[in-house]
Amino acid sequence: MEEPASTLWLRQGDVFTTITSIPTLGPAGRCAEKETPHGVVVLSQTCDAVRSETVQVAPIVHLSGPDVHVAASGRTPKYAPLPGIGGEVFAQLQIVATIAKSLLSSDARRPGVLTPKDTRSFAMAVGRRFSRFAFPDDVASWFQPLQRLAQNKAHHHQSPEGRVFANVRQIRVRSDSGWLATPYDLTISFLLDEGEMPFGAGDDLPDVPLELEHWLSGKTALQIAQRLLDNGGSADSYHLWGALAAEWVGRCARVFEPGSTCVSSYTVEVAGLDEYSLAAYFDSESLDLDHLSGPTLA
């Protein structure tokens, strides 16, 4: 028996497989039904879901193959993982509908997230989907070589570059001259999983060893990534990560003819999550590589 909306207790991330369609706005403003064969998941924050007579929901999708790795990496704003249902199950955040809470039954409810960590990750994924920064189109075009790299490596995650790129938790971009007019002076920060960097905030960073400096000359990103895998955790990792990130971003700059780019200069840095300052975080924007606007480069 369905509970009245006023007594049904809901949480963000709750799954209802009994909801097989949701309303969407179609052409000419007509309401259409979007089929949801795997059900829906509640996106509304828990406090709103409890108090309101309506909730926001998104369809559930089952992914397979490389798409699972891409979605589970947390680098795409299109999907939010639902590990309480299965490792291949995600909320499809591109489609959101508002439905009456009275349509939901506590008997049909399944928790899509179980642990505090999973709950927080789901909430962050939902929030990120609706708070993405709109980079200027010319900047989005400038970053598209890096976008293609990220998409390719995510689908070939067993390659050296793919295995290394999997440790990049987020890429953040700051324009030192602001975003109102070109050209832009960018600082591009690769934030790595905890423990990936051998040095933390406040540590004295060593100079590049002479042998490593000579070895890096003329090396490709593939070669640098392989050495990083072979020497992970060593003091050389810091310099290898810096060289690899610079090579990745360099592909963006090399696409454009001198004087034709909207980016006048750029700085690349690599940092662990535990050493990136809160001030730097608030002064920068997340670069969602699978959701850049702008024309596709040839």
Segments making up each domain of the chain, as ranges: 14-130, 137-286
Model's pTM, two decimal places?
0.70
Identify the weakest region by mean pLDDT among 74-88, 122-136, 198-212: 198-212
Integer CA distances (angstroms), 267 to 242, 250, 254, in order: 11, 10, 15
Bridge partners (DSSP) listed for residue 16: 40, 109
What phi and psi values does residue 70 have, to the nearest 5 degrees?
Answer: -65, -50
How many CB atoms sit inside 10 A of residue 160's CB?
A: 19
pLDDT at 60: 95
pLDDT at 26: 77
How many angstroms separate the CA atoms of 191 and 122, rounded?
Answer: 20
The two tokens of residue 267 are: 């700085």
CATH code: domain 14-130 is 2.30.30.110
pLDDT at 267: 93
Please give the helix or strand (H or E) that residue 220 lies within, else none. none
pLDDT at 8: 66
Strand 79-81 and strand 89-92: the pairing is antiparallel
- Residue 220 above 60 pLDDT? yes
How many angstroms separate the CA atoms of 22 and 101, rounded?
Answer: 13
Q: Which residue has the tokens 């089929």?
A: 35
- Residue 297 above 70 pLDDT? no
Give CA angle at 282 (196, 243), nearest 5°: 35
